[in-house]
Amino acid sequence: MSTAYKASQLRWDPFDPDFRANPYPYLKTIREQDPVHRSMHGEWILTRYEDVFRAFADQNLGPLTRTDEFDVTYEYLKGKGKVMEGMKLAGKMFLPFIDKPRHPKLREWLHQAWNDRSVDESVKKRIDHMMDQWDFDQVDLMTEFAGMLPILTLLGVMGLPAEDWVQLKKISFKLYPIIEYRRTMRSFEMLNEGMEEVVEYLLPWIEEKRKSPQPDLLSNLIKLNDQSEEKLTDQEIAGFCAFLFFAGQETTVHLIGNSLQLMMTHPEQTEWLRNHRKATALAIEECLRYDSSVPLLGRIAKEDTEYGGKIIKKGHGIVLCVAAAHRDANRYEHPDQLDFSRTSKGNLGFGRGERICSGAWLARKQAKWAISKLMDRSQRFELTADPIRQDTFNPRGYAHLPARIVPA
Ligand code: HEM
């Protein structure tokens, strides 16, 4: 596809199906012609690696939403007779919507509670179990694999029953539209619905785990909360756990799915990896760089700030376009090539700074074991039809990856 657009034709339109299918030529043009770009929607789009890198730690930039956005929406809807407590709770408990001083306190609570990282054996067992159910001639690597593993892992980490995965996955689909590129009233309504359902599901579990704590994350969160001076209510604990299901699931689903798709469409890279299995973790980082499951993050300027010689005014929205930064030739050699032998120059797929991903280790482990096990159990694996994209830009990934596995 030609990338020679004139500056006046720069296209930043994550709703456009062409853009969604392959945003990279568009992002390249923006990065080269107008790297700090004011989109037709009014936000500023940062596309250079150096700018996105700096923005993650820029104290002049605040969270994804204006702090009062959820409260204002809540009051507005209440005035119209619609009370959306679930939505309000998400505004209070979802970390990306919260600023200092509450944000670091909630993160600290999570980090103290999450002291057990010994998930390898359970993840490996889950993967084997899934593979045992496959018809190797005809398997959908999204619905029968990548789409299931992260929710099952999270349920295990939280100490909740694996058989509830379908219910929780359905709920979390209702939460996702809130981080799509544009929020609509429908996305607030879906968030509200999802939050009410997740709170209803979790409240009895919180009671149960308070009475008889187990070695799991939910029990630890409750224990620490109950010992602290600034106690959260059980609704708030449930709201925070809903955020973990939200943050830790589809992101990981699509890290695994995108990596599998890239392996199947770049067989020479997969062959190289089969001969260099120790490079699996780095190959996953390369997939995360090449086609990240979280291609963009949002911020609001808390003060006037400058990028690329342009002043971004207080209150303006800013998009940290990780997908564009990851293809910046000033950072990566041959950025449009997938290269599993690339000496890592790191990537911004899990963010950086005060909001860096707390679950990156868990996502990396799952991706590593998913890919390692698939390579162990196959001579090769290949697409049997075109993959079908999921209709969201953020997270970015596939709904279906129809494949055939040639057993080892
Ligand atoms: C491939 C999988 C994942 C990707 C690509 C990813 C990506 C990210 C990114 C980019 C951020 C930074 C957000 C920002 O700067 O605004 C973030 C934050 C976070 N992620 Fe992840 N994540 C993944 C998996 C997980 C998992 C498995 C969990 C835990 C269950 C998790 C929990 C969190 C939390 C708690 C934060 C902190 C948010 C904040 O402090 O504002 N993530 N993630």
Q: What's the pLDDT tens digit per position in 107-143?
A: 999 999 999 889 999 999 999 999 999 999 999 999 9
Percent with pLDDT over 90 in the chain = 84
Would you place residue 178 in the very low, low, confident or very high pLDDT band (cuts 50, 70, 90)? confident
pLDDT for the residue numbered 2:
41
Higher pLDDT, residue 179 or 195? 195
Residue 66 has pLDDT above 90, yes or no: no
- The pLDDT, as a whole number, for residue 69 is 80
Q: Which atom of ligand 1 approaches the CA of 297 most closely?
A: 16
Give the model's confidence band at 67: pLDDT under 50 very low, under 70 low, under 90 confident, else very high. Answer: low
Q: Indicate if the pLDDT at residue 285 is higher than 80.
A: yes
Instruction: Provide the whole-model pTM.
Output: 0.95
**Which pLDDT value is given to residue 4?**
44
Mean pLDDT, rounded, for 4-30:
83
Please state the rounded mean pLDDT for residues 352-378. Answer: 97
- Residue of the CA atom closest to atom 30 of ligand 1: 248
My answer on whether omega of the bond before 101 falls inside 30° of 0, hence cis, is yes
**Does residue 394 line the site of ligand 1, with CB under 6 A?**
no
Q: 33 CB less than 6 Å from ligand 1?
A: no
Look at residue 7 in the predicted model and tell me its pLDDT. 47
87 lines ligand 1 (CB under 6 A): no
Q: What's the 246 CA to ligand 1 centre distance in angstroms?
A: 9
Residue of the CA atom closest to atom 12 of ligand 1: 351
CA of 367 to the centre of ligand 1 (A): 15
Report the separation in Å between the CA atom of 380 and the middle of ligand 1, taken as the mean of its atom positions.
32
Domain 27-407 grouped into CATH 3.30.70.2470: no
pLDDT above 50: residue 36: yes
Region 139-150 average pLDDT: 98
Q: Which atom of ligand 1 is nearest to the CA of 254?
A: 1
Task: List the domain boundaries for the chain.
Answer: 27-407
Closest C-alpha residue for ligand 1 atom 24: 248
* pLDDT, averaged across the chain: 94
Share of the chain above pLDDT 70, in %: 97
Tell me what pLDDT residue 391 has.
86
C-alpha angle 104-109-114 in degrees, rounded to nearest 5: 125
